[in-house]
Structure formats: C-alpha cells, structure tokens
Amino acid sequence: MNARTFVGGMIASGVILGVGAGVGTAAHQLTVSSVSTGGSATGTAAGNGSSGASSSGASSSGVDGTYTGASASTRFGDVQVQVTVSGGRITDVTALHLTDADGRSVQISNRAAPILRDEVLSAQSANVQMVSGATYTSEAYLTSLQSALDQAGM
C-alpha cells in the first residue's frame, strides 16, 4: 500500500479534515494563515478535530489551494495530510513525512518480504548473549543454545 492509497483510505473513512464540499457536515472554523498556489483565494487550513468540513460554502466548490489537515492518529502515531484543491476538487493528497518515537521513518506498510537466511545474521552474532526461540519446555531448554550460553556465563 503506498502513501496515496493509505491516505485515500483515511479520507474514505472520514478521518481527514475535509476541505471544500461534501466531506462532512461538522461546523469547524477554518483558520487561514499562510498559503500557496493559485485560485481565487488560498490558505492553510487547520481544523480542531479528526474529521470535519469547511463551515462555509459547504455546497460550493471550495477554495483552491494547498491545505494541511489536522493530525490523525494511526498505529504509528500522528499523521498529517496535505491536500491540494484545484477547481473545487481535491487534486492531490500527500502524507507528510514523519518519524516515529524511535526516530525511524514511518513506514506506511509493514508487509513482510522474502529474505535469505544469511541476510539476517550479522557479524556480531558471535556476541549474542540471549536467544529467543520456541523453547517451551524445560527439556528443550537443555539442548538449546540458550542453555549453553547460560552455562558459559556462570
């Protein structure tokens, strides 16, 4: 799933703050501060909730420009979306880049990919001090690498 599909899904579920017509009916104030591209008026709109729509001109075509929506919470933390309106229609949606609490780039997708055995064993594997494995029983522990490490550590 790429960023646009993800964000498209969020719009479909009404999570993203709506800009212009038809996205919702809650009466939120649009705060127009700075700006961008052409059209009859431009502005940056920020809402105070995770869903909602322009309170003015709900039946009109909306104001052209680029808008940054309110943050929406996802499993990664908060995501902000930038929406471009042109000719009264949303013409582009971009998920703004975020890093998570670990400082890693937020991946929109967590799908698993095939890998080779040797790709995931590093040069530091000789320094492993604790092993995770499906060692449920005491008997299985006795023949495990963990047991050897524990005995060596004593």
Partner 1 sequence: MRWTFGTMGTVASILTEGDVAPLLRARVETIFEGYDQIFSLYRRESPLAAIARGELHLADAPDVVRDEYARAVRWRARTHGWFDPHRPDGVLDLSGTIKAVAMARAAEALAGDEARGVVSVGGDLLAIGGWQGRAGVADPADRGRLLADVDLGRRAALATSGSAERGDHIWSRAGSTDVLQATVRGHDIVTADVVATALVAAGTTEMDDLLESFDVDALVVTDAGMFASPGWPRPRASADLSPTSARG
Instruction: Determine, following the binding rule CB under 8 A, whether residue 12 of this chain makes contact with partner 1.
Output: no
Of the candidate spans 22-30, 52-60, 86-94, 120-128, the one that interacts with partner 1 by CB under 8 A turns out to be 120-128
* Binding positions for partner 1, 18-77, rule CB under 8 A: 75-76
Listed residue (105, 148, 112, 104) closest to 130, CA to CA: 148
How far apart (Å, rounded) are the C-alpha atoms in residues 73 and 135? 37
Instruction: Determine, following the binding rule CB under 8 A, whether residue 107 of this chain makes contact with partner 1.
Output: yes
Query: Which of 54, 66, 68, 146: binder of partner 1 (CB under 8 A)?
Result: 146
How far apart (Å, rounded) are the C-alpha atoms in residues 97 and 43? 21
Q: With the CA atoms of 69, 72, 75 and 81 taken in that order, what torsion angle do they form, in degrees rounded to the nearest 10?
A: -10
Q: Which residues bind partner 1 (CB under 8 A)?
A: 1, 75-76, 100-102, 104, 107, 109-125, 127-138, 140-141, 143-148, 150, 153-154
